Structures are given as structure tokens and as C-alpha cells.
């Protein structure tokens, strides 16, 4: 299969993210719904990567998914054939007196090509907004691999990403809260690992989020410098299968704590 420019860019970016994370193909297979051989094909552009594979890699590595998913939409338009140019039929030979002026003919051709391009862009945008059911269908055919590195009490204080409990399709969001400055706090639960934790977005350097459970266990995460600003950050996990009684507090430097229940 010939790799197009956009598809090649997507595969290259996915490889960069995987290399920067330090995750091996075996680790990706253990912590996502996709096999080691599938990841090898996706990362080398041998096979179109499903949308959910891109989402899973972003989730696993804490990479904001917006730009990658936009790139995936363009690549998907190529894979599905929606980006192929619409051929403009040649006009039959006619006497010179009956032929249209050169400008008008090129104008017709230009509008046909432009119209095809606009159609491709519109289709990509619609697919992006609708979640692209075609992408989900491809992902559903991939073998599911679920092999977390811990369960229940064995996960206490450990990273949901590193232990494979935070993979795509493994998580239920029990509650979502929007705090001051648009900071987002999500109480998450992994049934297979029997754990809960808080995933945050929009934190600024020095912001701290603490999760407290009725069991007395507490976990926290602090945004450290510019590296963490605006990124997905997660508290370590706490053993539990319910968000009942959970208390989530955001502490912003110079402000009073802002707390939510459940």
C-alpha cells in the first residue's frame, strides 16, 4: 500500500509519541485494546490506525488528542477514498466556432476541482463531529487485550497509566466537575482494576488536586512547571469501586481550596 503524505505524517507523529513515552510495543499491547502486531503496523504506516487507537495512545501517554485527531480525519478521508479528486470529463471535439472561450472552460474545471476539495473538507469535519462511526467499526474488529499490572489494594498509590488501568474502553467517569479558571476534574473508575482516581486538565503550575475517600485513603497530584500546564494529569489510584463519599479538592496558590463531593 502506498503511504500518502498525510497518512505518513500521522504514522510519524504516532511513532514520536510512542518513542517519547518510552513504551515498548509489548507495553502498548498490554495496556490498550490493540495487539503488538497491530501497533507495529499502525506506527509504520502499513495499516490505517483506527480512531480509537489514536485516542488510546493519547490517553496512555497524556498527549492532548485534538491535533492528532484532526490529522487522523484527513488521513481517514484518504484511506476511505473521500479525498480522491473528482475527474472532470473532457469535452468532445467541436468546431472552433462552437468551442467555449479558454477562460470559461478553465473556470469550469477550477470550480469542479474546488468543489471536490470543499466536499472532502466538509465530510472530514462532519466525521470529526459525529465521532466517525467508520473509525469505530474498524476498531471493533481489533483483538481486545486487557492485562493490567495490578488490582484493588495492589494498585494503591500507583499510576493508572503505567499499570494499564487507564486504557481506552476500560474507564467509567463517575463524576465531572469544572472548577475556577475552567480546570476540569474527573473522578474515574476502572472496574477491571477495582480502583478510582482523578484525572485533571487545565491545571497551572503549582495547582494541586487531592482525592480523599471514606476509607481514609488520599491521593494527590501537583502540576509541576510549564511541562504539566494544560496537560492531562492524574492522581495515583486508590482502591475502590464507587465514588460514593469521595471528596476532590483543588488548591490554587494564593486561593482557598475548592472542593467537590463525588
For the sheet with 258-261, list strands across it. Answer: 218-222, 208-212, 247-251, 258-261
Same domain, 114 and 187: no
**pLDDT value of position 130:** 38
Parent domain of 171: 152-261
Same domain, 121 and 222: no
**pLDDT value of position 146:** 59
For 213-232, the pLDDT digits (tens) are 998 999 999 998 777 776 78
93 located within any domain: no
For all residues of the chain together, what is the average pLDDT? 77
Same domain, 121 and 202: no
**pLDDT value of position 196:** 96
**pTM of structure:** 0.52
**pLDDT value of position 80:** 73
Instruction: Grade residue 93 by pLDDT with cuts at 50, 70 and 90.
Output: very low
Same domain, 71 and 46: yes
Partnered with residue 190 across adjacent β-strands are 171, 195
Residue 168 has pLDDT above 70, yes or no: no
**pLDDT value of position 52:** 85
Instruction: Grade residue 51 by pLDDT with cuts at 50, 70 and 90.
Output: confident
Region of residue 254 (phi > 0: left; psi between -120 and 50: alpha; otherwise: beta): left
Number of domains in the chain: 2
**DSSP code of residue 29:** H
Task: Tell me the three cell numbers of residue 8.
Answer: 505518513
For 180-192, the pLDDT digits (tens) are 899 999 999 999 8
Mean pLDDT over 120-125 rounds to 43
102 located within any domain: no
Q: Which CATH number belongs to the domain containing residue 219 in this structure?
A: 2.60.40
Angle, CA of 216, 220 and 226, to the nearest 5°: 175
Same domain, 248 and 165: yes
Name the more confident of 72 and 168.
72
**pLDDT value of position 156:** 94
Amino acid at each position: 500500500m502506498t503511504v500518502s503524505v498525510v497518512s505518513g505524517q500521522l504514522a510519524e507523529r504516532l511513532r514520536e509519541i510512542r518513542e517519547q513515552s518510552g513504551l515498548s510495543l509489548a507495553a502498548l499491547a498490554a495496556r490498550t485494546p490493540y495487539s503488538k502486531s497491530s501497533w507495529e503496523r499502525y506506527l509504520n504506516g502499513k495499516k490505517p490506525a483506527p480512531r480509537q487507537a489514536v485516542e488510546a495512545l493519547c490517553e496512555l501517554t497524556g498527549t492532548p488528542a485534538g491535533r492528532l485527531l484532526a490529522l487522523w480525519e484527513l488521513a481517514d478521508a484518504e484511506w476511505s477514498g473521500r479525498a480522491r479528486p473528482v475527474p472532470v470529463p473532457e469535452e468532445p471535439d467541436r468546431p472552433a466556432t462552437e468551442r467555449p472561450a479558454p477562460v470559461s472552460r478553465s473556470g469550469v474545471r477550477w470550480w469542479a476541482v474546488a468543489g471536490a476539495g470543499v466536499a472532502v473538507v466538509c465530510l472530514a469535519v462532519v466525521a470529526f463531529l459525529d465521532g466517525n462511526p467508520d473509525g469505530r467499526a474498524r476498531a471493533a474488529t481489533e483483538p481486545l487485550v486487557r492485562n493490567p499490572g495490578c488490582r484493588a489494594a495492589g494498585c494503591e498509590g500507583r499510576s493508572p497509566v503505567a499499570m494499564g488501568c487507564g486504557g481506552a474502553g476500560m474507564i467509567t467517569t463517575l463524576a465531572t466537575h469544572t472548577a475556577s479558571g475552567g480546570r476540569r476534574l474527573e473522578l474515574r473508575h476502572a472496574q477491571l482494576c477495582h480502583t478510582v482516581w482523578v484525572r485533571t486538565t487545565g491545571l497551572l503550575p503549582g495547582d494541586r488536586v487531592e482525592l480523599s475517600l471514606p476509607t481514609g485513603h488520599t491521593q494527590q497530584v501537583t502540576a509541576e512547571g510549564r511541562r504539566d500546564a494544560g496537560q492531562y494529569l492524574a492522581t495515583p489510584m486508590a482502591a475502590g469501586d464507587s465514588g460514593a463519599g469521595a471528596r476532590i479538592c483543588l488548591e490554587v496558590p494564593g486561593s482557598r481550596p475548592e472542593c467537590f463531593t463525588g
